[in-house]
Amino acid sequence: MLTTLAVVLPIFALILAGWLARRTGLLGPHAMAELNRFVVWLALPALLFDVMARSVGPEIWQPGFLATFGLSSGALLALTAWLARRRGRPLADAAIDGLNASYPNTGYMGFPLALAALGPAALGPTTIAVILTVCVVFAGAIVLIEAGLQGGDRSGRRRGPVARTVALALLRNPLLVAPFCGALVPLLGLGVPAPVEAFLKLLGGAASPCALVALGLFLAEPRRGDGMGRDRRATAWLVGLKLVVHPFLAYGLGRFVFDLSPLALHTAVLMAALPTGTGPFMLAEFYRREAALTADTVLVSTVLSVVTVAAYLAYVAG
């Protein structure tokens, strides 16, 4: 548990820093929106480009692990979004709900936990999990959000050919364009010059800390009391999907379908067991959707993951 707590504490510290900055008036009411825009338009695209540009074939071509982690995350995203639609949620909000249940905090927590618990050999599969999470799962949610937003205007009328409208919106989205351009670098046998690599690392390194500070700023804003019981139930539902269903689904696929090695299996389950990352919150703010449920899910799942992840690490060690 101490290992898990040591990794989680900096996350809480960054959220607390944002909360205190807003509560004390150090940052104003528009700081959260502007900080989130910086993350979405500059820092996160740089990170996504860098991750894809540095991906090499042998390191990421592990079909069993790719299938296990990719299918568990994608299936949970689709299932949660479908259930949310059945409850009457708009498609854009349902997609963010799906991301809340399937987007683990692999980038911030995955590497230190994998290294401490499973050793250096787990870093390769962890890299795969990061790429699948921040590029593939994230991209799937963006496609659903854009389809929901571009399918009709506020009066419910169709706005031209939906497929063309959605495609154009996706082509303008930096969170999809950046990893696509980054993937072209190794595919074309190109390299990233050292100064550009340094620039990308500096800018991309700001993505997670700034997103966590923005989350703290959001939590410091006055909250309405209406519908709090419903929000608590929805938060509990999404947290349960993330911390319980996701790792069990990864374990079932890895153990009984794809027959992963013990190291690959434990890495897949550990990555799936991580709490919800800041990606869903960034998208909720970027697309101006209701972000309270997402903020609560990130916070509660991070708190509870100290227990659930520690329990799994104890099981692995035993």
Average pLDDT across the chain, whole number: 86
Residue type, 189: G
Q: What's the residue count for the chain?
A: 318
* pLDDT tens profile 182-228: 888 888 888 889 999 999 999 988 988 898 898 889 888 876 554 44
Residue 90 lies in domain: 2-220+229-317
What pLDDT is attached to residue 156?
Answer: 45
Q: What is the pLDDT of residue 161?
A: 58
Q: CB of 216 within 8 A of CB of 17?
A: yes
pLDDT at 237: 95
* Top-ranked range on mean pLDDT: pick from 71-80, 123-132, 200-209: 71-80
Q: How many CB atoms are closer than 10 A to CB 153?
A: 10
Give residue 175's pLDDT: 78
Predicted confidence (pLDDT) at residue 91 exceeds the cutoff of 50: yes
Q: Hey, what are 259's tokens?
A: 């027959």
Q: What pLDDT sits at residue 119?
A: 86
pLDDT at position 3 = 67
Q: At 154, is the pLDDT very low, low, confident or very high (cuts 50, 70, 90)?
A: very low
pLDDT in tens, 283-311: 898 888 888 899 999 999 998 998 899 88
**Share above pLDDT 90 across residues of the chain, in percent, rounded to a whole number:** 43
pLDDT of residue 153: 42
Whether residue 69 is predicted with pLDDT greater than 90 in this model: the reply is: yes
Predicted local confidence at residue 100, as pLDDT? 96
Q: How far is CA 124 from the centre of its chain?
A: 19
Least confident residue range of 35-49, 65-79, 260-274? 35-49
Answer whether residue 39 shows pLDDT above 80: yes
Please give the distance of CA 208 from its chain centroid, rounded to a whole number: 10
> The domain that contains 242 carries what CATH number?
1.20.1530.20
CA distance 96 to 145: 8
What is the residue whose two structure tokens read 């496609």? 143
* Number of domains within the chain: 1
What was the pLDDT predicted at 104?
95
